[in-house]
Amino acid sequence: MLAKKTPLLQSFRSLVFRHASHLSRQQYDVIVVGGGHAGTEAAAAAARVGAETLLVTQKKNTIGALSCNPSLGGIGKGQLVKEVDALDGLCGRAGDWAGIHFSILNRSKGPAVWGPRAQLDRQRYREFIQSELLSTPRLTVLEGSVEELLVTEPNPEEPGQHRVKGICLANGNHPISASSVVLTTGTFLSGSLFVGQTTSPGGRIGDAPSSPGLSQTLRERLGLRTGRLRTGTPPRIVKDSVDLSEAQLHPPDSHPTPFSFLNTHTHCKPEEQLPCYLTFTTPGVERVVRESLHLNCHIQQDAKGPRYCPSIESRVLRFPGRRHQVWLEPEGMASDLLYPQGLSMTMPPDVQLRLIREIPAMHRAEIHTPGYGVQYDFVCPTQLSPALQVKSTQGLFLAGQINGTTGYEEAAAQGLWAGVNAARWALSMPLVALSRTESYIGVLIDDLVSRGITEPYRMFTSRAEYRTSLRPDNADLRLTLKGFEEVGCVSSLRYQKAVRVRDKLQEALAALEAIALSSAKWRKKLPGIHMSENKNKILTGMELLEYNDASFEMLASVFPDCLSPYIEFAQRLNIEAVYKSHCDLQKKEIERVQKEENMCLSPDLDYFSLPISLSEEVREILDRVRPSTLGAASRLQGITPAAVINLLHYVKYTGQKERGIHRNQPNQKEQGEEQRCV
C-alpha cells in the first residue's frame, strides 16, 4: 500500500491566490513564517494538534522546494525522517512518492546505524507537499513577506520578558494576530547570495531575502544573540553533455525500502529507478581552485560553513593533493539535469565551467545554472527551551536553519516539534519535550539548546548515545503511541496501525521465547546454523536469532504453526533479536538519565546566589544557558561532575522541602470543602 492522494496542484494555486487577496480572518492560533521543510512540517503539525494555523510564504510555488540536493535521508538523517513520519509528519510519505533511487547506506554495519536514503524527483516532491497542505484541515496558506513581529508585554504568570501576538506583512496590510508564531526562515534571514565577486540580497537564487525588519526585531526588540553562517550549492549540469561511461555506475537497491510506516512499497517501481554515478576530482580541479581564489569573495568570508558538506574550494584548501568524490545524481524522472554532489562552489560562472571540465566524465559538460553561496543570520539556539520556544519571548518558536542546523531532515524534525508546541501553547496546553533517550529528534534539540553551535549542525548516528535503541525500524513504537496519547499530533489511523504492530511483535517475541530446545536439537533441525558442538545448553528461539546465520524465516519454516502468522514482521524480529541483550543492559542507564531529565530547574533560578558550591565560571554558564533540567545542565560544556552533584543535592533538597510544605497545607479542594462546611 502507498498512502497518497492525487496531487491537487492547480487547486492549491488558486486557493493561495484567494487567500493572498483577502483572508477570511485576521486572528489565528498559530502563524508559521516560511514554506520550506521546517515550515511545512510546523504548519501541518500545528493543524493536526487542533490549532487554526496560517502559513505565510513569499512564493506559493516554492512551498516544499528542494533548494539544494534532491535527496532525503542518509546516515543519521534517515533516522530523523523515520521519526518525523512516526509522528505523522509529511516528509517520509513525500519521499516515498517522489523517490527515484532508494538505497540503505551503511548496510555493512549493524541495522541500528543503517541510513535509509532516496534520490528524489524535485517536481513530484514539491507537488506532494503542496497537495498535503491543501488537504489539511484548519490550515490556511498566504503568499506574502513578514515585515516584523508584533510584540507586547508578557503574561506575568509565565517566564519571559516579552510576548508575541502576531505579525505585520511587508505590504502594509492589517496586522494578523496569533497566540504563537513559528519562524522557519531558512537561509532567507538577511540572506546574501555570492557568485564570484558579485553579491546580491537573497536566500535562494531567484528569491528575495526576508524583510530586514524581521532580523531587526529579533536583535533589537527581543535582544536575541544572532550570528552569521554560510552554505552553498553546486552548478546544475546538462545531463546529455556528460560522458557517463567515464563514471562508476551505482544502481539503487533492487527492493526499495519506504520511509513511511504507512507504506509497504514506493511509488517508483523497482525496475523504474534511476542510477547514480561516481567520479572523482583531478589535480586540474585543485589548480583551478587555487588560481581563482582572488575572484571568490564567499570563500574569504569569516562566516562558518558546513563542515560535513563543504564547498570544493574548502575541500581543496583543507585537504590538498587528495582526490575527492563527486556523485552525479538525477534531478527527476523527466529532468535533463544532473546534480554534482561534492562540487558546491561560488567562483565566477566561467571559472566553474573550467573546473568541472577538469573531471574526465564532464570534459565537455555544460552548466545549466551556476553554483552559488549563501550567507544568512541565525539565532544562537541556547536561547531556546527544549520545546523550541524562545526563553525570553512567550509564544515565539524557531525551527530549521534559523537555529544553526543544515539539512532538510534536521529542519523537518525541528519544524514538526516547534509546530506541535506552538499549537499546544496557543491552546493553553502544557509544552512537551523529547528526551535524547527516546529519539534522534530529542538528541538534535538537546544538542542545540544545551550546547549551541559553532558551525552548521548536521545529525550523525554517533551523536546518539543510545543508538542501538533508537533504530530506524522501531521509530513507530517509540514515538507514534506517544504522539497520539500524549502529544496529539498523530491520527487515529496511524495510531491503530502502530498498536497492531506493537501487539503482534509482542506476541511474536513471546512465541519465540516459548520455543526452547537444546543445542543438539537445534543443530538437527537447522543444520545450516553454525553452533559449537561442545555446547549443549537450552536455547530459546529468541536466543537462536542472535546467531549471524539464523533468521526468523528459518524458524518459521520449522515451527509454522506458531511463527508463520508473524512472517510480515520477520526483519523487525531479526533486528530485535540482534540488539535485545544490549538494549536490556542499556535500560538501566536510560532510566538513570530519564530520572535526571525529570529533575527540573526553574527558569528564573538565580544561579549567582545559590547557596551551594559552584565556581563563578559554572554559575555564568548556567545563567547564560539556563538549562531546563539537571540532565541538560550535565551536558553543558564547562559544567563539572562536582557541579552536577551539588545541583542534584540542591534539587532533591528543595523538592523534599516543597513536598513537606504541601503535606502540611490543605489543597484547594480541601480548602473549598472546609469553606463550604463553615
- Residue 3 banded pLDDT, cuts 50, 70, 90: low
Tell me what pLDDT residue 301 has. 64
Report residue 604 CA to chain centroid gap.
Answer: 30
Domain count, the chain: 4
Instruction: Summarize the confidence of residues 122-139 as an average pLDDT.
Output: 97
First to last CA, the chain: 66
The helix/strand/coil state of 181 is strand
| C-alpha separations of 433 from 311, 411, 414, 442, 668 in Å | 35, 17, 11, 8, 29
The answer to whether residue 308 is domain-embedded is yes
Among the listed ranges 15-29, 466-480, 585-599, which one has the minimum average pLDDT value? Answer: 15-29
Instruction: Identify the CATH number of the domain in which residue 504 sits.
Output: 1.10.10
Rounded to whole angstroms, the Cα distance separating 11 from 17 reads 10
Tell me what pLDDT residue 673 has. 33
Looking at the structure, tell me whether residues 189 and 94 fall in a common domain: yes
Query: What does the pLDDT look like over 255-291, one tens digit per residue?
Result: 999 999 999 999 999 999 999 999 999 999 999 999 9
Looking at the structure, tell me whether residues 489 and 504 fall in a common domain: no
Tell me what pLDDT residue 655 has. 57
Tell me what pLDDT residue 649 has. 82
Rounded to whole angstroms, the Cα distance separating 426 from 255 reads 44
Write phi, then psi, for 183 (nearest 5 degrees): -95, 120
pLDDT at 677 over 70: no
* Exposed e or buried b per residue across 625-639, where buried means at least 16 C-beta atoms within 10 angstroms of its C-beta: bbbbbbbbbbbbeeb
Looking at the structure, tell me whether residues 29 and 152 fall in a common domain: yes
Query: What does the pLDDT look like over 550-569, one tens digit per residue?
Result: 999 999 999 999 999 999 99
- 135: cell is 488537504
SS (H, E, C) 328-343: EEECCCCCCEEEEECC
Mean pLDDT of the chain: 90
Domain with 33 in it: 20-230+376-493
pLDDT at 193 over 80: yes
Looking at the structure, tell me whether residues 178 and 59 fall in a common domain: yes
10 burial type by CB count under 10 A (0-12 exposed, 13-18 middle, 19+ buried): exposed
Q: Pick the last residue of a domain from 447, 477, 493.
A: 493
Query: What does the pLDDT look like over 478-487, one tens digit per residue?
Result: 999 999 999 9
Instruction: Identify the CATH number of the domain in which residue 652 sits.
Output: 1.10.150.570
Rg (CA), the chain: 27
Looking at the structure, tell me whether residues 578 and 610 fall in a common domain: no
Instruction: Summarize the confidence of residues 140-147 as an average pLDDT.
Output: 94
Looking at the structure, tell me whether residues 369 and 384 fall in a common domain: no
Q: Pick the last residue of a domain from 536, 557, 588.
A: 588
Instruction: Identify the CATH number of the domain in which residue 42 sits.
Output: 3.50.50.60
Looking at the structure, tell me whether residues 26 and 126 fall in a common domain: yes
Residue with the larger pLDDT of the pair 613 and 86:
86
Rounded to whole angstroms, the Cα distance separating 58 from 672 reads 54
Rounded to whole angstroms, the Cα distance separating 620 from 379 reads 20
- Residue 84 banded pLDDT, cuts 50, 70, 90: very high
pTM score: 0.89
The answer to whether residue 10 is domain-embedded is no
Instruction: Summarize the confidence of residues 591-619 as an average pLDDT.
Output: 84
Residue with the larger pLDDT of the pair 640 and 48:
48
